[in-house]
Copies of this chain bind each other. A is one copy, B any other.
Amino acid sequence: MAARGINKVILVGNIGNEPEMRYMPNGNAVATVSLATSDTWKDKNTGEQQERTEWHRVVFFGKLAEIVGQYVHKGSKLYVEGRLQTRKWTDQQGVDRYSTEIIVDMGGTMQLLDSRQGGDAGGYQPPPQPYQQQAAAGNQYGGQPAPAQQPMQQPQNRPQQQPQQPAPNFDDFDDDIPF
């Protein structure tokens, strides 16, 4: 993917929900999380400590989505590098709505900062296959509404392909170490 211009987002923060998994018709995973960053400052007048939490909707594709689905949980601290993308959609009243997300695909990277884990899950994987549209479901966590516009599929559609929790064999990944 070539590009004109630079579109880069770097976030470090904690995840506010369990990753929401979806699957493309071709089986490729998509994982969505809400990541929090916060600014703190002292009020000029009252001198009181203020804090504002920013919630970022982060969407992982491909291999990174697999890793997120397996190892990222509510409360996990992540380093994320992706790009900004604003999707336009139309709500039930026919009004144009916009949702901005941080896309993390093969051009981005991710790193789990929890525990004794870590490492880059950066991406130079072959590009994801295009796929076909389908169902939809809401996102209950994101700081922004996230109408279903991208096809998804329930995880149970492929339980045998990717065991949910403990990663028994990393051979599912094309690299020895997924992160």
Contacts and interface: CB of A to CB of B under 8 A. Distances in A.
A5 B85 contact: no
Interface in A25-75: 36-42, 44-45, 49, 54-56
Contact of A12 (B36, B111, B143): B111
Contacts of A42: 175-176
A98 B45 CA distance: 29
A14 interface: yes
Given A77-B113, A121-B2, A144 B93 contact: no
Nearest to A118: B4
Given A2-B179, A5-B111, A98-B100, 19 more contacts: A1-B40, A1-B41, A2-B39, A2-B119, A2-B122, A5-B37, A5-B119, A6-B12, A6-B13, A49-B176, A54-B86, A77-B113, A79-B79, A86-B144, A91-B95, A96-B145, A113-B113, A124-B124, A124-B127
